[in-house]
Amino acid sequence: MPINSFLYPGAKVTSAYEVSNSVRFDDGSGDELTRSQSSSPSSQRLFTFSAWVKRGNLNSGGSDANMQFFSQHNDTTDRMDFRFQSGDTIDFYHNSPRCRITTNRLFRDISSWYHVCLRVDTTQSTAANRIRLYINGVQETSFSSADYGDQNDDLGTNYSTFDVGDGSFGTEHFDGYMCEVVYCDGQSLDPTSFGEFDSDSPNIWKPIDVSGLTFGTNGFYLQFKQSGTSANSSGIGADTSGNDNHFTVNNLTAVDQSTDTCTNNFNTPNPLWGMQAIRVPTFAEGNLKITGDGDAQHHQTMGTFAFNKGKWFWEAKFTVSADIGKNKIGIMSTELGSPQTAELGDQSGSCLYINEDGGDFRRDNATVDQNAGTFSHNQIISVALNMDDGEISIYRAGSLIVDALAIGNAAGTFVTPASMHYRDAGMEFNFGSPPYSESGGNSDGNGYGNFSMSIPSGYFAINSKNLAEYG
C-alpha cells in the first residue's frame, strides 16, 4: 500500500474540512442504497463518481467475489459496475457498448481510507482519456484489462436503477465503510474537485468541501449525516446536492451510521493478521464483530493501530452465549510478529484478560490475577490501557475488576488491542463507533466516541486524530 493512502495510523494531517459520518456496510446483511431514475441524464457520455472507502472483509470468492461501490443497471445484462473485484483489484465494467478497465495493483489495506475517483468522457479522441481512474489523487495507468470503448459511445447512465453498495445481481455487496459519495451527471472531473494533498504532509490525500459542485440532473451527494431509513432528506440515503435524488435504504439502520471517516480513522480488528496454529475468526460489521467459526480451535485477532505511549480506552460486548467463557480480550505486542502459534496471554509480550468461569488475567504466560469473576451474555467489558505507566485496568458493566495491573513485557513496546475466541465465542468491539445500539453517549476529552462507560480522565478513543496528538 503506498504511503499516499489517506490516513494511515497516526498520520498528522491538517484538515480544514471535516467529514462527520460514514455508513458501515456489511456484505452478509445485504446492506445497500438504491434509487430509481425518473429523469433523462444530463449526458450519456460524461459522468464522474467519487467516494471515500475503507475496506472491511476482503473478497473471498463465491457469490460475493465482487464488491460494488456503485452500479447502474436495468438488469444483469444491461449494467455498469464499479467495484472491488475478486482478487482485490479495482474494476470498471460496462457490458454494451463494451468497455472495461481492471487494475494490476491490488487494494488490500483494511486499516486506511482510499479515495476512488472514476472519470468518464467518451467524447475524448484519445482512448485512454475516455475512462480514467484515480486512487488517492493519483491516476492509475497500469491495467490488466484496458478496453476504453469507442469515441462518443453512449453509456448506460440512463439505466433505471442506481445502486450504492451493491450491483445488478444483488449478491455483490460492499463490505466496509463509505463516506462523501458523489455522482456528477454530465461532467468529467479530475480528483482535485474532491480532494487535495495536505500542505504539511504532501503525500497525504485529504477531502475538500464539494458542496459547490454542479451535480447534473441525476447527480447526488451522500454525506450520511441523517439516521432515518426513509428515502427523503431525513434518511441515511439523503441526497444533499440540492437535487433531492434520495436513496431507498436497504437493511441499514442508525447503528450503521459511523463516525469512522476519511478525516478521523478508527482502529478495527485486522482480518489480514492470522496465526498458523490458531485460526482466523469470522469478521462482520466493518470488522468490529468477531465470531469463531465453530471448530475446536482458538481464533485470534489484533488491531490495525499500534502505539507505545498514551492512555487508551475501548469496549466490547460478549455476544454469543455458547462458549461465552472462551472469549478473551486484552493487548498484544506487535513485536511478537505474525504469525504466532501460542495463545494470547501465553507468550512473552502479551497481556490478556481471560473470560472464563472464575476468570483470570494472564500475562506473559503466567496467571497474575484471579479476581475477575464470571460474565453474562451481552455484558459490556471496558479496557483502560495506560502505556505511559505500563498498566491496564478492566471493567465489567462499569465496575472495576482489574485495577492498574502491570502489563509486563509488553511495556515499552508497540501494542495493539487483541482478542481470542474459541468455537462459537464472539464479541462486538467498540473503539468509539459501536456496531450495536449504544445509548451511553460517553465520549473522550476530545469529544470522540460513543461508549457505555464514562471514560477515565486522560484516556482517549483509538483514532487517527488522537494518535497524532498522544500516541
- For 330-367, the pLDDT digits (tens) are 898 887 765 555 667 777 777 877 654 556 788 887 88
pLDDT over 90 (residue 459) = yes
In Å, how far from its chain's centre is CA 470?
A: 23
Above pLDDT 90, what percent of the chain? Answer: 68
> Tell me, what's the pLDDT at 63?
43
* Tally of CB atoms within 10 A around 453: 17
> Tell me, what's the pLDDT at 42?
96
Q: Of 221-230, 240-249, 338-347, which gets the smallest average pLDDT?
A: 338-347
> Tell me, what's the pLDDT at 271?
85
Q: Three cell numbers at 289?
A: 464483530
pLDDT tens digits for range 112-142? 999 999 999 999 999 999 999 999 999 999 9
pLDDT tens digits for range 289-320? 988 777 666 777 889 999 999 999 999 998 86
> What is the average pLDDT score of the chain?
88
**Half-sphere exposure for 344 (CA within 13 Å, toward CB):** 33
* Tally of CB atoms within 10 A around 351: 28
Beta strand pairing call for 89-94 and 79-85: antiparallel
Q: At residue 41, what is the residue type?
A: P
Residue pair 183/88 in contact (Cβ under 8 Å)? The answer is no
* pLDDT band, residue 242 (cuts 50/70/90): very high
Could you tell me which residue, 74 or 361, shows the higher pLDDT? 74
* pLDDT band, residue 50 (cuts 50/70/90): very high
> Tell me, what's the pLDDT at 6?
43
CB within 8 A of 308, min separation 6: which ones? 387, 412, 413, 414, 415, 471
* pLDDT band, residue 3 (cuts 50/70/90): very low
Tell me 192's DSSP state: G
> Tell me, what's the pLDDT at 62?
43
> Tell me, what's the pLDDT at 156?
94
* pLDDT band, residue 1 (cuts 50/70/90): very low
Pairwise CA distance, residues 241 & 215, whole Å: 7
pLDDT over 70 (residue 240) = yes
* Tally of CB atoms within 10 A around 398: 11
pLDDT over 60 (residue 327) = yes
Pairwise CA distance, residues 390 & 412, whole Å: 8
Pairwise CA distance, residues 297 & 280, whole Å: 10
pLDDT over 80 (residue 13) = no
pLDDT tens digits for range 371-388? 667 777 788 999 999 999
Q: Which residue has the cell 475524448?
A: 124
- Reading phi first (left if > 0) and then psi (alpha if -120 to 50, else beta), residue 192 is in alpha
* pLDDT band, residue 12 (cuts 50/70/90): low
pLDDT tens digits for range 156-181? 999 999 999 999 999 999 999 999 99
Tell me 64's DSSP state: G
Domains of the chain by range and CATH? 22-258 (2.60.120.200), 282-470 (2.60.120.920)
Number of residues that this document lists for the chain:
471
pLDDT over 60 (residue 66) = yes
> Tell me, what's the pLDDT at 278?
56
pLDDT over 90 (residue 329) = no
Q: Which residue has the cell 476504453?
A: 148
pLDDT tens digits for range 422-452? 777 788 999 999 999 999 999 999 999 999 9
Q: Three cell numbers at 230?
A: 426513509
Pairwise CA distance, residues 465 & 266, whole Å: 9
Instruction: Return the closest-CA partner of residue 230 out of 212, 244, 242.
Output: 244
Q: Of 80-84, 287-291, 385-389, which gets the smallest average pLDDT?
A: 287-291
Could you tell me which residue, 55 or 412, shows the higher pLDDT? 55
Q: Of 11-25, 66-80, 272-286, which gets the smallest average pLDDT?
A: 272-286
> Tell me, what's the pLDDT at 359?
62
| Dihedral in degrees, nearest 10, Cα atoms 435, 436, 439, 445 | -30
Residue pair 160/74 in contact (Cβ under 8 Å)? The answer is yes
* pLDDT band, residue 234 (cuts 50/70/90): very high
pLDDT tens digits for range 190-215? 999 999 999 888 889 999 999 999 99
Residue pair 323/375 in contact (Cβ under 8 Å)? The answer is no
Tell me 125's DSSP state: S
